[in-house]
Amino acid sequence: MSPVLVAGATGLVGSDICRRLAGEGVPVRALVRETSAPAKVAALRDLGAEIAVGDVRDVASLDAACAGVESVISTLSAMPFSYEPGVNDIGPTDRDGTIALVDAARRAGARGFVYMSFSGNIDRDFPSRHAKRTVEAHIRESGLDWTVLRPSYFMEVWLSPAVGFDAANATATIFGDGEGPISWIAIADVAEFAVRALDAPAARNATLELGGPDAVSPDGVVRIFERHLGRPFTVTHVPMAALEAAQAEAPNDMARSFAGLQQCYAAGDAVPMDAILAAIPIPLASVDDYAARVVEGLRGG
């Protein structure tokens, strides 16, 4: 059996994809950079993954990584943890680097390419959005079998202290008025869709808009957490005008993109899932499930 190359293999979604593929007995080749965290690379080796050291800005390394693979799954992004202005940046990595990876997969004779983008409702003027839509168009024209995954906002990221949602201290920063429903989705569920997309007929040459089982407003999320915690939150709402000003004043592409994502969050992102789940049935984690898990962890359960 030929391997599946996972690009972005040390990331939150990519590492979960590698784990799921390995658990199904699928040979995994993990693309990592020289500078990737040694512990994360070691964890991939422990799964049985073959490690391919390369960089999306180095075409020769991509050709080597793609040699003999059946398919490629890419979750590549410079945002937010590996961002280096002007180096590992949205233009050279998210856009140009991923396009180079698509081209390397085609040259290597790979069958398919699964690409993790983000929701079609994320449609404002900012660098990360433009990079992802440019890559999507390139994939569709590549001649490969392709799947574009467009997940909504990850619960584990956007409902975490890193973005101002701090369940431990019962405080939350909410972007916008808090009323727009969002189909928050679990990282594990996106990883499962990526693995299923390799073989599911409904995913072949298709763009899949992905969300969780329910669209819940940010203020509704706070109420869910309050119920699980048994205490009220202190909530701060950031007006849309302030988010737009932050984008206009942002010093680099990552800051501009983050402000753009916040504005799209404020506008809401409800994603109907009935048709996709009928074709690719996956049990989806809800915000209530996530809140219960977070609160259990806070209580040492």
Task: Compute the mean pLDDT over every residue in the chain, rounded to the nearest whole number.
Answer: 96
Given a cut of 80, whether residue 141 has pLDDT beyond it is yes
Q: What is the pLDDT of residues 64-93, one digit of tens each?
A: 999 999 999 999 998 766 777 777 789 999
Distances (CA, A) of 58 to 5, 63, 92, 93, 221: 16, 9, 11, 11, 43
Residue pair 198/114 in contact by the 8 Å Cβ criterion: yes
Determine if the peptide bond prior to 151 is cis (ω within 30°): no
Distances (CA, A) of 184 to 173, 187, 272: 16, 10, 12
Q: What is the pLDDT of residues 34-48, one digit of tens each?
A: 989 999 999 999 999
Can you say how many angstroms the Cα of residue 132 is from the centroid of all Cα atoms in its chain? 11
At 78 the pLDDT is: 85
At 301 the pLDDT is: 64
Q: What is the pLDDT of residues 90-114, one digit of tens each?
A: 999 999 999 999 999 999 999 999 9
Given a cut of 90, whether residue 167 has pLDDT beyond it is yes
> Considering only CA atoms, which of 40, 36, 29 is closest in space to residue 5?
29
Given a cut of 90, whether residue 179 has pLDDT beyond it is yes
